[in-house]
Amino acid sequence: MKSRQWRTTMDNNIVISTRIRLARNLKDYPFPCRLSDKGKAEVDEKVRKALINGNSAIAKDFQYIDFDNMSETMKVSLVEKHLVSPEFISNTSGRAVLLLNNGTVSIMLNEEDHIRLQVIENGFCLDEAYDLADKLDTLLDEQLNFAFNEKLGYLTQCPTNLGTGMRASVMLHLPALKKSGAMNMLANNLNKLGLTIRGAHGEGSSSEGAIYQLSNQVSLGISEKSAIENLKNITNQLISQELKQRETLVKSIETKDKVMRSLGILKTAYIMSHKEAVNLLSNVRFGISTGLIDNINIETINDLLVEIQPATLMTILGEQITVKDRDISRAEYIRNKLN
C-alpha cells in the first residue's frame, strides 16, 4: 500500500492551488452596477476601515491598490495571477483591491458585488483556505452590515451566488486523464454533481498544459462545509483516477521521450510562445511528479507557469515589448531558470 506521505505529495503535485472566494454586499447600498461614484467611494472607505479597525494582526499586511495609475500590463498581470477577475479590470472606475503582501488574499471592491474576498494557496488545502477566508469574513462582518436574508442567505447581484456566496475551486494538473480522452465525459458527470471543470482561466479558457479548474456551482441550500466536503471528495476521486492513468503512461518510452524532449527544448530554445511554453512545462511537470525527472523542483515549474504569462513576464522584465521580443525574452527567462 502506498504511504500516506506519498499520497499527500501526489495530492499537492496534482492540485497546483486552492481558492476560496466569498461574495458579500453592504445592506445599505445598491449593488455596484447601480451605485453612484459617491456610493462606491463610501463602500470602499467602509471596507478599508473595517479591515484596519478589525484589530487583526493580518490587517497591517494589506496593501490598498488603486487602479487609476496602473498600467494595462500590470492590471492584466494581476488577472494572470488570479488576484483579480478579467471583469474587474475591464472597467476599473470606482474599483480597488486590497491585497495581502504575500499574494494569498485579495479583496476586490465594487466588482460585481461590493466585496469579493479571495484566498488562494498552493497545493490542496481547502480547509485551511476556507478557515482564513472565514476569519476575514467574520472580521469584516463584525463592522459592516452585510446584506443577508434568512431564506436566500447572502444577497449577491447574480442569483447564482446567493446562499453562501462562496466559490471553492482547485487548480488541477491532469495530463494523464487529458491524454486518456476522458475529460469530456468527466466534465459531464461533474456537472450532474453540481461541480464544473474548465480551463485554467475559467469559462471559455483552454485546457492548455492539461491544467483545469474544478469548482462548486451550487451556493444555495448548502452549507460552506458541505460544499467544501463535496469538492474535496470529488477532487480526491479525480486524483485517484489521474494516478491510475499515470501508472501505465509513465512506463512507456513514448512518454519518456515526450517528457525529456520537452525539457531539452525548454533548455535550448531562443523563441517561445506562451502556448508552447505551457505545454512543454506541463510535460516536464508530469515528468517531475512521476520521477522521470529528478533534478528540478516542481515549485520551479509552478513559478514558471505563472511568470511566463505575457503580462506577468513583461511586469518582471519591466518593459513594454513586441510579441516577438516577448517570445525571445520568455525563452531566455526559461533557459536561465532551468540551466
Q: Which residues are near its own copies by CB under 8 A? A: 253-254, 256-257, 260-261, 263-265, 267-271, 328, 331
Least distance in angstroms from the C-beta of 292 to its own copies: 10
Least distance in angstroms from the C-beta of 262 to its own copies: 8
* CB of 139 or CB of 284, closer to its own copies: 284
Least distance in angstroms from the C-beta of 265 to its own copies: 5
Least distance in angstroms from the C-beta of 138 to its own copies: 52
Binding residues for ATP: 17-21, 82, 116, 167-171, 198-203
Binding residues: 17-21, 82, 116, 167-171, 198-203
Q: Are 112 and 32 in contact (CB under 8 A)?
A: yes
Least distance in angstroms from the C-beta of 315 to its own copies: 23
* CB of 35 or CB of 269, closer to its own copies: 269
Least distance in angstroms from the C-beta of 312 to its own copies: 22
* CB of 83 or CB of 334, closer to its own copies: 334
